[in-house]
Amino acid sequence: MQRIQAVEPLLAERPLVLQTRDPRRGLIVAAANLAARAAGVRAHMSLSEASVLVPLEIRPHDTHEDLDQLCSLAERAQQFSPIVGLEQLDKKTWAGRHLPQPECLLLDVTGLASLFGGEERLLGLVAKWLDEQRYFGCMAIASSLGAAWALANYGHRKRLSALATTPATTESQFIIANCNASDSAIAHLPIAALRLTPDTVQTLQRLGIRCIGQLAQLPRAGMATRLGQTLLDRWDQALGHKSEPLIALHALPEWQIEHTLEYPTEHRATIAEVVKRLSGELARRMAARGEGAMRIVCRLDQVEAAPMIMQLSLFRPTADAEHLQTLLVGQLEQQLGSRATAAMWRLAVQATLTAPLVWHQTDLFEGDVIENRHQLARLVDNLSNRLGRRQVLRARVEREPQPENACTLQPMTGRRPDGAEQATVKKLSSRLARQRAEPTVDDPMRRPTRLLSPPQRIEVIALAPEGLPAQFKSNQQPYSVIQFWGPERIESGWWRGPSVRRDYFRVETEHGAWWWIYRDMQTNLWYLHGVFD
């Protein structure tokens, strides 16, 4: 499953890759968008090789964010099936796999297709749901988990190759296999579609076995001895001869509470009261165990309609019943809005992500500080609940020389705690921001408070060719430079593709405004990159 960047829409139009580090090969491509794949960039390619093909926008790959997003999708996918899980990985990496973590969602839709108007209609609704969240996916329905996985991951390869040549096309693809002919549906797929190790795949290819259908040519009696029992197990699972469990992604039993109404009701006050009671009981259980919720899912089953799923992400672990009730009821009212309420017959509240409640001994005069922290956490929770988790972000500093890549944005709520302590703020012995001195590393005004994206092209009059700036014009408005600090040379690493070499200046104009401008050393053009407020 791929996602088009929603926070920065321009990234979907130019080649973008996510980089990761391989212990043996160094920096490699973890994922690439459609524009990059159209230029020949592929996952698991070395970053230096990919940079030669096309100028790339390179971002670090955050595996934790990937897993959080996949879990969040699994929680919301419960509107199509009550049994949703992530693919289960083996100890050894599968052939053709690029990342050692789950990448697929598994839904058990046995007997559910008729509720959505058929299997094709069900997959169409899932595709529309993904498109609304700016995702596109490859989906398949088959009689066995192994066959569905093989069709979804390898049955769309030709279509995905066509997508690479037409990056504007982002419709989800899906395949429906005949339940009585799973063997023929996957017979043409490559042997790697059985989720085998690279060694096993290479051995089969040396024997001339490249497709799943060709396995029948080998004597089954000797396959386990020469190639291992795993090959036979995966083959039987794909054909449906051996069962394979689907491990649902649900909260632990003690963190899940549900209530079935005696009669379905459309009364909003009754529904809100049940949600309050369930969330209060969940908070009581968590408090008794010293746990706090980081993410909560509320599922409301409707009569003859798809369930309604509400997700609640929190800034810090909490077992405060009143706080959870306020957030859940507020989100319920926001989702229902002014539309007619469907009849609800069952409600469930589950904490899908929890963390221990940590208590610290406070100092004598630290009461106000602790209270401020609680108020800040509640403010972040309320904003995320009202505006959406992806709209309330914090910056994470990256070790990148280019200013526009020096930080990444991530949601403030619903993240898995990593145990990292917040860095302490250094106390400056003097107010360097008010001084007119050469900026140092600790100078708070060394970098502007606001960056322009993208940098704005300006006209600069220098004291000499390729010299220091004396005057510049921005938006047809001329500015005279009375003081400047610099140059500060910033260059990008060779592994990031085409070299970026800039000379930055911090300048002060006659009206007292401070600007951050730079000269591109390759084109000799000047740009305005930041403003000091």
Structure tokens at 432: 């360097």
**What separation, in Å, do the N-terminal and C-terminal C-alpha atoms of the chain show?**
41
> Are both 94 and 230 inside the same structural domain?
yes
SS3 293: strand
Whether 338 and 482 map to the same domain: the answer is no
Nearest to 250, CA basis, from 314, 292, 295:
295
Task: Give φ, ψ of 57 to 5 degrees.
Answer: -95, 120
Of 177, 132, 125, 109, the closest CA to residue 6 belongs to: 132
- Considering the domain boundaries, does residue 373 fall inside one? yes
Same domain, 464 and 500: yes
Query: Is position 367 within any domain?
Result: yes
More confident site: 442 or 214? 214
Max Cα–Cα distance, the chain, nearest Å: 88
Reported confidence tier of residue 429, pLDDT bands at 50, 70, 90: very low
Instruction: For 218-230, write each residue's pLDDT tens digit.
Output: 888 888 888 889 9
189, 206, 239 — which closes off a domain? 239
Q: 88 with 204, same domain?
A: yes
pLDDT at residue 84, as a whole number = 92
Extract the tokens encoding 153: 């991951």
Instruction: Indicate the number of domains in the chain.
Output: 4
Name the pLDDT band for 270 (thresholds 50, 70, 90). Answer: very high
Q: Are residues 303 and 351 in the same domain?
A: yes
DSSP 320-340: -HHHHHHHHHHHHHHHHTTSP
3-state secondary structure of 191: helix
Residue 264, CA atoms < 13 Å, CB-side half-sphere: 11
**Are 194 and 212 a contacting pair, CB within 8 Å?**
yes
- Find the radius of gyration of the CA atoms of the chain: 28
Among 210, 239, 268, which residue terminates a domain?
239
Which range (53-67, 158-172, 342-356, 441-455) has the least confidence?
158-172
Q: How many CA atoms lie within 13 A of 90 on its CB side?
A: 14
Same-domain status, 92 and 206: yes
- Indicate whether 206 and 109 sit together in one domain: yes
DSSP 8-state secondary structure symbol assigned to residue 229:
H
Given this model, what pLDDT does residue 440 score? 52
Place of tokens 């596109």: 136
Q: Which pLDDT belongs to residue 414?
A: 83
Peptide bond connecting 454 to the previous residue in cis, omega within 30 degrees of 0: yes
pLDDT at 360 over 80: no
Work out the average pLDDT over 468-477.
87
- DSSP for 371-419? HHHHHHHHHHHHHHHHH-GGGSEEEEE-S-SSGGGSEEEEESSSPPP--
Residue 419 lies in a domain: no
pLDDT at 341: 76
pLDDT digits (tens, 9 = 90+) for 89-122: 887 888 877 677 888 999 999 988 888 889 999 9
Q: How confident is the model over 24-72, as pLDDT tens digits?
A: 888 889 888 888 888 889 888 888 888 888 888 888 888 878 888 888 8
Task: Say if residue 435's pLDDT is above 70.
Answer: no
Specify the CATH number for the domain of residue 46: 3.40.1170.60
What gap in Å lies between CA 389 and CA 375, rounded to an integer? Answer: 18
pTM given for the model: 0.70
- Tell me, yes or no, whether 90 and 27 share the same domain: no
Question: Which helix (H) or strand (E) element contains residue 440?
Answer: none
Q: For all residues of the chain together, what is the average pLDDT?
A: 82
Mean pLDDT (whole number) for 161-185: 66
- Owning domain of residue 456: 450-532
**105 and 204 assigned to the same domain:** yes
- Examine residue 487 and say whether the peptide bond preceding it is cis (omega within 30 degrees of 0): yes
Bridge partners, residue 532, by sequence = 514
- Report the C-alpha gap between 448 and 445 in whole angstroms: 6
Residue whose entry in the numeric block shows the structure tokens 């959870």:
324
Structure token digits, residue 163: 């997508």
Residue 176 included in any domain: yes
pLDDT at 494: 65
Residue 2: inside a domain, yes or no?
A: yes
Domain boundary among 387, 404, 428: 387
Q: Taking residues 465-488, report their average pLDDT.
A: 86
Please report whether residue 438 resides in a domain.
Answer: no
User: pLDDT value at position 238?
Assistant: 92
Q: Residue 7 pLDDT > 90, yes or no? A: no
Shared domain for 189 and 112, answered yes or no, is yes
Domain with residue 352: its CATH number is: 3.30.1490.100
What pLDDT is recorded for position 436? Answer: 36
Does residue 459 sit within a domain? yes
Evaluate whether residue 69 is within a structural domain.
Answer: no
Of 250, 287, 292, whose CA–CA distance to 108 is shortest? 250
Q: How does pLDDT run across 257-268, given as a tens digit for each residue?
A: 999 999 999 999
CA distances from 106 to 84, 99, 148, 195, 506 (A): 6, 18, 9, 15, 54
What pLDDT shows up at residue 31? 86
pLDDT surpasses 60 at 5:
no
Residue 318: which pLDDT band, with cuts at 50, 70 and 90? Answer: very high
Average pLDDT over residues 500-527: 90
Give the model confidence (pLDDT) of 367-413 as tens digits.
566 677 788 889 999 999 888 888 898 888 877 788 887 887 888 88
Whole-number Å distance between alpha carbons of 452 and 61? 24
pLDDT tens-digit series, residues 279-316: 999 999 999 999 999 999 999 999 878 889 999 999 99
Amino acid at site 443 = D
Residue percentage of the chain with pLDDT more than 90: 33
Same domain (yes/no): 148, 221:
yes
Distance CA 458, CA 451 (A): 15
**Angstrom distance (rounded) from CA 494 to CA 498:** 7
Residue 443: per-residue pLDDT: 57
409 neighbors 389 (Cβ within 8 angstroms): no
3-state secondary structure of 296: strand
Give dist(CA 34, CA 15) in Å, integer: 7
User: Do 159 and 300 fall into the same domain?
Assistant: no
Per-residue pLDDT band for 496 (boundaries 50, 70, 90) equals low
Q: Give the span between the Cα atoms of 418 and 197, in whole angstroms.
A: 31
Using CB atoms within 10 Å of the CB of residue 341, give its burial: 0 to 12 exposed, 13 to 18 middle, 19+ buried: middle
Q: Which amino acid is at 252?
A: L
What pLDDT, on the 0 to 100 scale, is given for residue 225?
A: 84
Question: Concatenated DSSP letters for 487-507?
Answer: EEEEE--GGGSS--EEEEEEE
